[in-house]
Amino acid sequence: MPFQGSKLATSVLALWLLLFVTTAPVTAEPAALESTAAGSLAQSEKQYRLAAWHFYQEDYYQALLQLSLAADEPAKASLFQAGLLLQLDMPAATANLLKRLLNDQTLSGKLPRQLRNIALLQFSRYQYEQQHTEQARYYLNQLSPPLAELAGQAELLQQLLNWPATAASEGEVFSRLAGQSELPYVVINQILALRQQQQPAQALALLSQLSQQLQVEPQAGFWQRLFSWGAAEPLLSDATEREALADYLHLLKAGLLVDQLQWADAQQVLSEFASSSVLTLSAMILYRDVLTENRQIPTLLSLLQQLIERFPYAPASWLAAHQLGNQFERALAQQDALAAYRWADQYYQQQLAANSDHASPVQLGQLADPAGLSGWQRYQLRQQASLFRLNKQLASLQQLQQLHQQRLSQIERLNDVVQIKLVQQQQLLTSTLPGLTAKQQQLQQQAAQLNSLIAAAAQQPMAGQLWLDDTEQHFAQLQRMLGRAEERVAALTAAGRDVSQAAERLSRLRGILQWHYQYNSAERRWQLTKQQQQLTAELTRINDALVRLTRLDGKTERLLSQQQQLATLTNRENQFTAGLATQQQQLLAQLNQGLQQLRQAEHAQLQEMRRLNTQAIARVMEQVLLTTQEGQ
C-alpha cells in the first residue's frame, strides 16, 4: 500500500488567499467607468477581505457567508468558496464547484496559473479518493508548469495513481523536491516499490539517505544562533510529524532487515523502538515474529504479556494469549503450558462477553463527548480508517449544524425586528394619521378665518374688526356718539346757530380718538401677524408629519417584502437543516453498521481462537496424562 502522507490531505487554502488578495487590481480605472461599478468593486474587495479574515480566525462558516455577498470575480470567488467548503469537510460540494469551474473555460481562463493548478490538483485528489482513477489522472495531467511549491503534491499524487507501477529510485528527487514537505512521502513510496521488487539493499540505502535529511541539528547556543542567519530550516517544521515519520522509517528499516533475513539486526532496531508511538502495535507485532525466530523466549513472553495489557482490543493481543501457552509447550513445559492455555480460555470467555456488550449502537451525543463511548468503540474509531472518516464527517456535520443554528437565530432576530417595525408603522398609520389629518383641517380653517379678518381690516382703516376686546368696543361706541354729535352740529349750523366752539371741541375729540386708534391698531396688527405666523408654523409641522406618515406607508410595502424574503430564506434554511439531519442519521447508521460488522467478525475470530486453544488444552492434557502414566 503506498504511503499517502498527511501533507497532501492538508488544504492549501492559505496559498489561495495569498494569491487571491495580491492579484487584486491596483491600476486606476478608466474615467468612463460609472461610479456604481467602482462601488461594486470596492464592496466585493471588502467582502473578500472579510472572508479571508474569518478564514484565518478558523471561522469557515462566516467566511463562506461573507463570500456569498461578493458578486464580482466569479472565478476566484468560486475557487475561494470551494476551499472553504473543503475546510468544512464537504468534499462533494467542493468537487461540484471545482468541476464546474474547470470545465467552464471562460471562468477558468480568468484564474492565474497557480490558482488554476491548485484547483486541478485538489479536484484530482478528490477523484482519486472516490476511486475515479482515470478522471483523477485526466485532471492531474492538465497542470501547467512550472509547478513550484505544488510539485511535491503532484508527484505524490502521481505515485498513488500509478501504484504499484511507481518509478524506481533516483537521486534527483532530493534536489528536485528540496525543501518541500512531500519529499519524505515520495521517497518512502520509492522505498516501498523497491521492497516490492525484492530489492531490500537499495531500499535500505535510500532509507538511510532520507533519514539523514530528516535529522534535526541539536539546539544551537546563543552565539551560534546569532551568526546562523543563513542556516537551513528543517525539512519538516512540525515536530510531531517529524517524529511519526522517524518511527515509520525505523519500522520500515526493521522490515527490510527481516526481508534480508538479518534477524539479529532487526531485533536490535526494534528493541530501540519508541514505546509511545502510534506505530508501537505494529512494531511489537514485528518484534514478536523476530523474537520467535531468534528463540528469545523470556523476552518474547514479556512482550506477549505487554501486548495483552496495552492493546486489549487488538487481534494481536488475542493471539498473544494463545502464544503464551504455545511457547511453554514448545519448551516442553507441559504444566506451565496447560496453565497458560487455561488462562487463555478464561481470557477468551471474558473477551466474548465483552464483545456482546459492544452490541449497543452509538448515539450522536456519545460522539460529541467521547467519554460516553466504550474503550472498544474509541479504539475502533481510531484504528479503522473508514470508521475514523465517518466519525470525522459526523463531527463536521455537527459543527455545521451548530453554525447553521446560529444563522437561523440571526434570521429569526431579523424577522422579529421587521415584525416590530411593521406593528409600529401600523399603529402610527391607524392612530396618529386620523388625528393629524383632523388637526390639519382645523388649523387650515383658523388660518383662513384669520386671513379674511386681516384682509377686511386692511380695507377699512377705522373698522372695528381689529378691536375684539372691551376697549375696542368702547371705542366704537364713542365713535358712534361722536358721529351723532357731528350730525347735530351740522343741523344747528344749518339753522343759523353759532356752534363754532362745539365744532372745535368735536374736532379736538376726533383727533384724540384717531390717535388712540392708531396707537392701539399697530400693536393689534402685530399680534394678528404673530398669530398668523404661529398658525403657519404649526400647519407646516402637521404637514411634514403627514408626509412622513405617507412615506411610512410606502416603507410598509418594503418591510412586507423583506418579511416575505426572510420567510422564504427561513424555509430554505429549514430544508437545509432537515437535509443535514438526514445525512447525519445516514452516516451514523453506516458507522453503527461498520462497528457491528467488526464486532461480529471479532466474535467469530474469538470463537475460532478459543476452539484452537481448547484443542491445545486437550493436546497438552493428553501429553501430561501420557507422561504421568509413563512415570508410573
CA dist 433 and 465 (Å) reads 36
- pLDDT score of 30: 37
- pLDDT score of 78: 77
CA dist 557 and 574 (Å) reads 26
Q: Name, in order, each residue with C-beta under 8 angstroms of 277's C-beta and a sequence gap of 6 or more.
A: 243, 244, 247, 283
Residue 272 C-alpha from the chain's centroid: 44
Whether 78 and 71 have beta carbons less than 8 Å apart is answered as: no
CA dist 561 and 576 (Å) reads 23
Query: Quick one: cell of 576?
Result: 437545509
Reported for 66-73, long-range contacts at CB under 8 A and 24+ positions apart, including other chains, are 69/43, 70/43, 70/44, 71/40, 71/44, 72/40, 72/41, 72/44, 73/44, 73/48, 73/110
**With helix as H, strand as E and coil as C, how does 444-473 read?**
HHHHHHHHHHHHHHHHCCCCHHHCCCHHHH
Q: For residue 248, how many C-alpha atoms fall within 13 Å in the half-sphere facing its CB? A: 18
Each domain of the chain, given as residue ranges in start order, spans: 1-24+42-163, 385-631
Q: Average pLDDT for consecutive 10-residue bins of the chain (632 residues)?
A: 52 41 37 44 70 80 74 70 77 77 69 81 84 86 85 88 72 79 87 88 88 66 54 64 86 91 91 85 91 89 91 90 89 88 92 88 84 87 88 85 83 84 70 70 76 66 47 66 78 77 78 70 72 81 72 66 82 85 91 93 93 91 81 62
Number of residues that this document lists for the chain: 632
- pLDDT score of 345: 93
Residue 3's SS3 state is coil
- pLDDT score of 15: 40
Query: Quick one: cell of 123?
Result: 479536484
- Looking at domain 1-24+42-163, its CATH class is mainly alpha
Whether 76 and 115 have beta carbons less than 8 Å apart is answered as: yes
Does pTM surpass 0.85? no
Whether 32 and 374 have beta carbons less than 8 Å apart is answered as: no
**Considering the chain, what is the average pLDDT of its residues?**
78
- pLDDT score of 9: 37
Residue 430 C-alpha from the chain's centroid: 45
- pLDDT score of 7: 42
Q: Name, in order, each residue with C-beta under 8 angstroms of 570's C-beta and a sequence gap of 6 or more.
A: 408, 411, 412, 415
Whether 142 and 120 have beta carbons less than 8 Å apart is answered as: yes
Longest Cα–Cα distance of the chain, Å, equals: 194
CA dist 281 and 315 (Å) reads 11
